[in-house]
Structure 1
C-alpha cells in the first residue's frame, strides 16, 4: 500500500488529516494514524482533540468499573449477554450489516428479549470498539462516560428498545 501524501495545497487541512488518520487506523497502521490525529489537533485543537489511548488491560479495567456502575437490570442483562471488545468494526461485519458505520462505538448482535421464541443456537453479544471509544472523548473520564452510554444503548437494544426510544432516553 502506498503511503498517503496530501497534495501540496492540502497540507494544513485538519479534516484531511483526521480522515487519513481514520483510514490508516482501520488498516492497522496505528502509529501513522496517531501522527495524523496529532496533526489535525495541532491545526485546530478545539475541533480535533487527541484520542485517549488505553492499553487492553487499562480498557478492561475501565470497562469493569463502568459495568459495576450500571443499574441492576442492565447488570443482569450483562450476565445473559457478554461484552466483547474489538479494536474496530471489521470489514466482515460491514459485509453482513451494510448499515454499520465504521465509527460506531458499540453494537448489539442478536435477538432482543421480547422477540425470542426459542434459542437460536447462537449467542447474543454486545461488541465494543475500543479505538472508536478512545476517540469519543478528550479524557479518560469522557471515554468512561461514552462507554457507559454505549453499554446502556446496546443493552437497551437487547431489552427491546429501538433507536427512537433510546434517543428519547438520552442514549442516542
Structure 2
C-alpha cells in the first residue's frame, strides 16, 4: 500500500472527521450545487451541438432524506456513516438552498471526493473557499484532496500544504481539526523534502494523540531524512509489526542497516518489505559494480558537447550509497536516498583549496536501482541524474532544476 493509501485508511479509522474510502470510480456528472436531470434519449436537432461524451450519461441524485435534520446536518451524518451517495444528495440540496453557505459546498466536495469524482470535488472546494477563504471544512477537504487523495506531485503537495497550513494557523481551531491539519501538513512536508517542518507538524499531532500511528510514521520518516539515524531506527523498529506501516518500516530499517554495513541483515528487511508490499518495493534492477561504472561512463559520453566540456577534469564516480560526511555537509542534511551528488563550488567560483580536485560528481548504484523498476528505466535515470548534477555544476539550485524536469 502506498503512503497515500496509508493516510486514507488512517483517516477512515476515525482520526479525522472527514474521510475517504476510495470506492471505485463513477462516470456520473453533476452540475454545481443541484441534482442533474436524467437525459432525454431522443437525438438532438441537427442545429444543436451533440453533448460531450463526459456529460452524455448523467444520473439524477436521489432525494435527500434528512430524517428531521437540516440537509447539511443530514449530509454530515451520512458522510460519517460512509453513505456517500446520500451525503452528496443532502449536501447538494443544502448548497441549492443556501448557495452562499461555504460549509454546504465543502460538504458536497467531501462527498464527491469520497466518490472519486475529483474534478467536481475540486470545483466544490474552490467555490467553498471563494465564499469563505477560512472555511475549516473547505480547507480540510481541499488539503486532503490534493495532499492525500491524488497521486503525489510537487504542485499538488504544495497546494495541499497551503490549505492545511492555513487551517492550522487559524485561531480558535478545535483540537480535533488541529490534529487533522497538522497530520496532512506533516505528510506534505515530508513529500516535499522539508523534513524539519514535517517533524514539527508530527510533534503537534503526537502532543494531542501520543499513539497516533500515522504521525509516528511521519516522524520516523522525517528523522531518517534529517540523518538522525539512531532515532529513526528506533522509531521504525517500533512500527515493524504495524499492519499499515510495517512494509515501509522494514524497508527503512533495511536502509539503516545498510548504512551500518550490515548487508545481509538489511536484505532480510528488504525481502520482508517486498513480501508485504510487492508493488511498492519491487526487486531493484541492480547491476554489478563494474556494469554500473560502465553505464555511468556511457551516460557521460552521451552528454551534449558543451556539458562534456564543462566536466573536463571533473571526475564522475560510482559509489554504493552516500556517506555521512556528504549528507551532513550542509544544513539541512541531504536525504540518504539521493541518487547523485555534486561536490564543490559551481563553475566560475573559486575553490577553497581543501580538496583536489575541488569539484566532483558521484552517482549512487543502490539508490538509483531502488528508484526504478527496469534496467531500461535505470539507464534513463542515470542520464537524468547526471544532467541534474551538471546543472548544479553550472550553478542551478534544486528548484530551478525541478522546473526543468530534472528533479
Same fold (TM > 0.5): yes
Aligned to 2:346: 112
| Distance (Å, rounded) in 1 between the aligned partners of 2:336 and 2:268 | 20
Runs (4+) of structure 1 moved beyond 4 Å?
6-9
Contact 2:345 2:359 in 1 (8 A): yes
| Distance (Å, rounded) in 2 between the aligned partners of 1:102 and 1:9 | 20
Aligned pairs for 1:23-38 within 5 A: 23-38=256-271
Structure 1: which 5+ runs fail to align? Answer: none
TM-score of the superposed pair, with normalisation by structure 1: 0.85
Highest relative contact order (Cα 8 Å, sep 6+), 1 or 2? 1
Shift of 1:7: 6.7
Aligned CA RMSD, in angstroms, stands at 2.4
| Distance (Å, rounded) in 2 between the aligned partners of 1:32 and 1:51 | 17
1:101 aligns with 2:335: yes
Structure number with bigger Rg: 2
1:127 aligns with 2:362: yes
1:10 to 241, 246, 263: 241
Shift of 1:35: 2.7
| Distance (Å, rounded) in 1 between the aligned partners of 2:372 and 2:347 | 31
Secondary structure of the 2:312 match is helix
Shift of 1:152: 0.3
| Distance (Å, rounded) in 1 between the aligned partners of 2:391 and 2:239 | 47
1:52 aligns with 2:278: no
Contact 2:342 2:361 in 1 (8 A): yes
Structure 2: which 5+ runs fail to align? Answer: 1-233
Secondary structure of the 1:96 match is coil
Aligned to 1:155: 390
| Distance (Å, rounded) in 1 between the aligned partners of 2:239 and 2:388 | 43
Residues 28 and 14 (structure 1 numbering): CA distance in 2 closer, same or farther, change over 3 Å? same
| Distance (Å, rounded) in 1 between the aligned partners of 2:240 and 2:372 | 30
Shift of 1:57: 0.5
